[in-house]
């Protein structure tokens, strides 16, 4: 069976979905020059008319599952990914698959236009948090405010390590991480090269929302689905730029250097 991909359906104006995860200074270049507000309005409108025969939560979670699966470089060609995609596709009519395609294009447009917690904000606007697990995603301006208060001297932190490590134990849709990456960019730094994020969320849909947005924004991240308190993890995904910028090797090299320095200190 060939790999089924929501990316394959993006056939209107070409959207080079691989570009946002290249190791370049963010923000990534715009593709269709659609404003963030326009993309948001169109996403809300399109979503409300997509697959009316399904619950809104089911459509949203299916969309998130497809997008996250296709951005998972480590597992995109596996039989499991194929089977999950085929199971979801079978639930939708062809015209609704086209709408899912357009939703993904609008998501890319929105995140290309500006840093934001796009998925968290549309989730709340669509009132999807009223059922199921009762999620509430912090408004992005609040995340920006908190980041401004809590962020230390990033340049000083980079003097001891070539990248800043950020841990988010309850990531939601990734809004706090995105706000931090935006603050790094505004400080003249490159989050794609100088930030490593580790996130966890107990809700698989929320964890996938984090993974999708950090992937498309070119933020290196290890995204866990699991319980921060019990340390149980059911799934781990790494964003494409984590591999592209060779963070596994960079982390090992930094740990090796730190171990040598600690050994020297102890000898003294």
Task: Please name the residues in contact with 247: beta carbons below 8 A apart, sequence gap of 6 or more.
Answer: 163, 196, 220
Torsion of CA 241, 242, 248, 254, to 10 degrees: 90
Task: Give the pLDDT of residue 134.
Answer: 61
Are 116 and 151 a contacting pair, CB within 8 Å?
no
Q: What is the pLDDT along the chain (268 residues), one digit of tens a residue?
A: 334 455 444 433 333 333 333 333 333 444 567 888 999 999 999 999 999 999 999 999 999 999 999 899 887 778 888 888 899 999 999 999 999 999 999 999 999 999 999 999 999 999 887 555 567 788 888 888 888 777 778 888 898 889 999 999 999 899 999 999 999 999 999 999 999 999 999 999 999 999 999 999 999 999 999 998 888 999 999 999 999 999 999 988 877 777 777 767 777 6
The pTM score is 0.83
Task: Give the pLDDT of residue 3.
Answer: 42
Are 195 and 164 a contacting pair, CB within 8 Å?
yes
Residue 144: enclosing H or E segment and its boundaries?
A: helix 140-150
């Amino acid at each position: 069976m060939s790999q089924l991909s929501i990316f394959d359906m993006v056939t209107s104006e070409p959207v080079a979905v691989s570009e946002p995860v290249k190791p370049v200074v963010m923000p990534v270049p715009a593709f269709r020059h659609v404003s963030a507000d326009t993309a948001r309005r169109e996403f809300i409108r399109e979503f409300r008319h997509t697959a009316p025969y399904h619950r809104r939560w089911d459509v949203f979670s299916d969309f998130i599952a497809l997008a996250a699966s296709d951005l998972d470089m480590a597992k995109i060609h596996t039989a499991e990914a194929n089977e999950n995609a085929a199971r979801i596709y079978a639930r939708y009519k062809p015209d609704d698959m086209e709408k899912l395609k357009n939703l993904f294009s609008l998501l890319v447009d929105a995140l290309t236009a500006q840093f934001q917690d796009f998925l968290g904000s549309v989730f709340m606007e669509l009132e999807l948090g009223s059922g199921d697990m009762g999620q509430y995603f912090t408004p992005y301006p609040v995340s920006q405010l908190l980041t401004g208060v809590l962020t230390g001297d990033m340049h000083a932190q980079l003097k001891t390590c070539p990248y800043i490590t950020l841990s988010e134990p309850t990531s939601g849709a990734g809004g706090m991480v995105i706000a931090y990456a935006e603050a790094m960019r505004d400080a003249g730094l490159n989050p794609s090269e100088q930030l490593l994020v580790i996130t966890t969320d107990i809700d698989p849909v929320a964890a996938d929302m984090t993974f999708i947005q950090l992937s498309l924004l070119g933020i290196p991240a290890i995204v866990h689905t699991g319980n921060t308190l019990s340390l149980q993890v059911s799934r781990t995904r790494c964003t494409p730029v984590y591999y592209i910028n060779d963070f596994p090797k960079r982390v090992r090299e930094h740990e090796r250097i730190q171990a040598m320095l600690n050994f020297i200190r102890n000898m003294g």
